[in-house]
Amino acid sequence: MQSVPQQKSLVVGLGVSGRAIARHLTRLKQPFIMADTREYPPGLEAFRAELPGVEVHCGDLADLDFDAIDEVVLSPGVAPDTRGLEKMANRTCATTGGPSIIGEIALFSRACQVPVAAITGSNAKSTVTTLLGDMARDAGVKVAVGGNLGTPALDLLHSHPDAELFVLELSSFQLETTPLLGATTAAFLNLSDDHLDRHGNMQRYRLAKQAIFQGASHALVNADDSQTWPLQAVPTLERFTTQPPGEGEWGVAVHQAQDWLMHGEQPLIPCRSLRIRGRHNQANALAALAMGTYLGLPRDSMLETLKHFPGLPHRGEWVADLDGVAWINDSKGTNVGATLAAIEGLGPTLSGRLILLAGGVGKGADFTPLAEPLARYAREAVLFGRDASLIQAALGTQVPVMRCDDLDAAMQRAQVIAQPGDVVLLSPACASLDQFANYEARGELFRRWVMSRVRGQE
């Protein structure tokens, strides 16, 4: 059994976050050893070159002598119940008096001295994180944006020493090892089936997400999803909805004969002024506005940012309008839940019909939940890729279907049948690996195809 010198932390995981943890502890001059459960983890030699004085253990954690470990810091990809860690599960850290197993965000919260806006949810957290960061930046705030999105939180501390605000996207994996976040404002956007292979069931998944409210001053939750509501008291609680809002809520209502984003009875901006489309993106906009308002960002500035925000690449991204038809790239929609959110978000806002482009590697998913909303909103489902036949079988006779060999043919079909007011939505509900290197390559093909037609009209 390998022994460990006294008073060393153990960092587990040689991924991006694990390396950020190691750099942070090195800057603090806090002794630690590195571990990874894989015998030959990727990046091992690069890590040794970057931090040559750090001892590294590769393989079963049970081979370590945990008697000398004061605290274990986990990368998000490492589950707290990983074999070997049971030796630390019921211990208290002698240095902090808190849990002996924590994660990167717990280290961040110890070190951070400025306000933090934290966002979690099964879907849309990247969009809200980026939008709120843009709002803060446009308002003149020195903001650092990252976490589960982009730069790890601990690296942000080092790269942005003058930051006045941190805006962090946080996953359930990060939150389950964060005993006290202490965010200034914390948002839980939505909850749907995901990561059950890690958490075991929806209750444990929800509880992991709920950690975002620990020590928060302000909580923002989804009025239409009670699973997002905090299980503990929070000093200030606000809600957003895609329905007409109640007093103090953020919502969507008819004003001057069109849909507007609202704060209570106060109209904010017409929904048609937004570049991001659909009810789900209206909810994202409301969440960013609510958090920005609590942080003291000027409303006029936030609304101006919102007018120009195109969405994130491959995540409900408006690409262009062609002959009165909007083309939207949601290639990141690699599962049924994501595609369902896109359909149900766009459907109620359409003056025409929806043309869905879907297909690829279905990963054994059940596609039947797509049938009912497509029956309500779709002109046609244009299917391509390996599992197109499975999607067609799940849709049955409720939705007109056209099968195509590939995405290029599917886009050609969509252009032929589209009418003014329609939306062509690439949201495949499948992985891309039958015909593409990744979902980004799939979305790039969609974008290039659409923009070539736009240029052809110029």
Q: What pLDDT, on a 0 to 100 scale, did the predictor assign at position 77?
A: 86
Chain centroid, CA 264 distance in Å: 27
Triad 448, 450, 453: Cα angle to 5° = 110
Is residue 34 classed as helix, strand or coil in its secondary structure? strand
Domain coverage including residue 45: 8-104
36 and 160 together in one domain: no
Q: Which three-class secondary structure state does DSSP give residue 258?
A: strand
Per-residue pLDDT at 108 exceeds 50: yes
- Mark whether 278 and 352 lie in a shared domain: no
pLDDT > 70 fraction of the chain, expressed in percent and rounded: 97
* Per-residue pLDDT at 5: 46
Q: Work out whether the CA dihedral 75, 80, 83, 84 comes out positive or negative.
A: positive
Q: What is the model's pLDDT at position 197? A: 65
Residue 3 lies in a domain: no
Residue 214, Ramachandran bin (φ over 0: left; ψ between -120 and 50: alpha; else beta)? beta
Same domain, 137 and 62: no
* C-beta of residue 179 within 8 angstroms of C-beta of residue 129: no
- Given this model, what pLDDT does residue 122 score? 83
Degrees to nearest 5, angle at CA 56 with 51 and 60: 155
H runs (alpha helix) in 309-406:
336-346, 371-377, 388-395
Q: In angstroms, rounded to a whole number, what is the distance separating the alpha carbons of residues 99 and 92? A: 5
The verdict on 285 and 321 lying in the same domain is no
Alpha helices in 170-245 (DSSP H): 172-175, 196-199, 202-210
Inform me whether the pLDDT recorded for 4 exceeds 50: no
- Report how far residue 278's alpha carbon sits from residue 320's, in angstroms, rounded to the nearest whole number: 15
Question: For residue 28, what is the domain's CATH number?
Answer: 3.40.50.720
- The predicted pLDDT at position 456 comes to 81
185 membership: H or E segment, kind and range: strand 185-188
Count the neighbouring beta carbons within 10 Å of the beta carbon of residue 151. Answer: 16
Among the options 24, 123, 125, 160, which is catalytic?
Answer: 125
- The more confidently predicted of residues 264 and 315 is 264
Give yes or no for residue 249 having a pLDDT over 70: yes
The pLDDT value given to residue 324: 95
User: 165 vs 199, which has greater pLDDT?
Assistant: 165
Among 275, 308, 341, give the residue marking a domain's end.
308
> Active site includes 308?
no
Pick the catalytic residue: 8, 57, 87, 195? 195
Cα-trace Rg, the chain: 24
119, pLDDT greater than 50: yes
Report the CATH number at residue 244: 3.40.1190.10
Assigned domain for 401 exists: yes
Name the band, by pLDDT with cuts 50, 70 and 90, for residue 248: very high
Does residue 142 have an active-site annotation?
A: no
- 346 and 252 in a common domain: no
169 lies in some domain:
yes
Residue 325's pLDDT is 97
pLDDT top residue among 289 and 91:
289
pLDDT in tens, 354-412: 999 999 999 888 999 999 999 999 999 999 999 999 999 999 999 999 999 999 999 99
pLDDT digits (tens, 9 = 90+) for 268-285: 999 999 989 899 999 999
Residue 317: phi, psi to the nearest 5?
Answer: -80, 120
Nearest to 171 by CA among 64, 17, 4: 17
Domain containing residue 401: CATH number:
3.90.190.20
Per-residue pLDDT band for 203 (boundaries 50, 70, 90) equals confident
Among residues 148, 190, 284, 329, the one annotated as catalytic is 148
Cα four-point dihedral sign 68, 71, 77, 83: positive
Residue 2 domain flag: no
pTM of the model: 0.87
Domain boundary among 67, 82, 104: 104
Give the Cα separation of 181 and 50 in Å (integer): 29
Same domain, 396 and 420: yes
Residues 22 and 137 in one domain: no
Residue 201 pLDDT class (50, 70, 90 cuts)? confident
> What's the mean pLDDT when you consider all of the chain?
93
Q: Are both 181 and 90 inside the same structural domain?
A: no
The Cα 349–Cα 118 span in angstroms is 29
Are 294 and 150 in a shared domain?
Answer: yes
Q: Per DSSP, what are the bridge partners of residue 423?
A: 326, 354
pLDDT mean over 311-319: 91
Neighbours of 107 (CB within 10 A): 24
Residue 195 designated active-site: yes
Provide the domain count of the chain. Answer: 3
Record the tokens describing residue 126, joined without a space. Answer: 């990247």
The two structure tokens encoding residue 16: 């991006």
Please check whether residue 269 lies inside any domain of the structure: yes
Burial class (CB in 10 A: 0-12, 13-18, 19+), 352: middle
State the average pLDDT over residues 314-325.
93
Q: Can you read off the two tokens belonging to residue 386?
A: 């390996």
Domain-embedded: residue 1:
no
| Domain stops at, among 62, 83, 104 | 104
The SS3 call for residue 163 is coil
Judge if 388 and 256 occupy the same domain.
no
pLDDT of residue 7: 65
Alpha helices in 318-406 (DSSP H): 336-346, 371-377, 388-395
Digit-coded pLDDT (tens) for 400-455:
999 999 999 999 999 999 999 999 999 999 999 999 999 999 999 999 999 999 98
- Name the more confident of 458 and 322: 322
For residues 337 and 240, membership in a common domain is answered with no
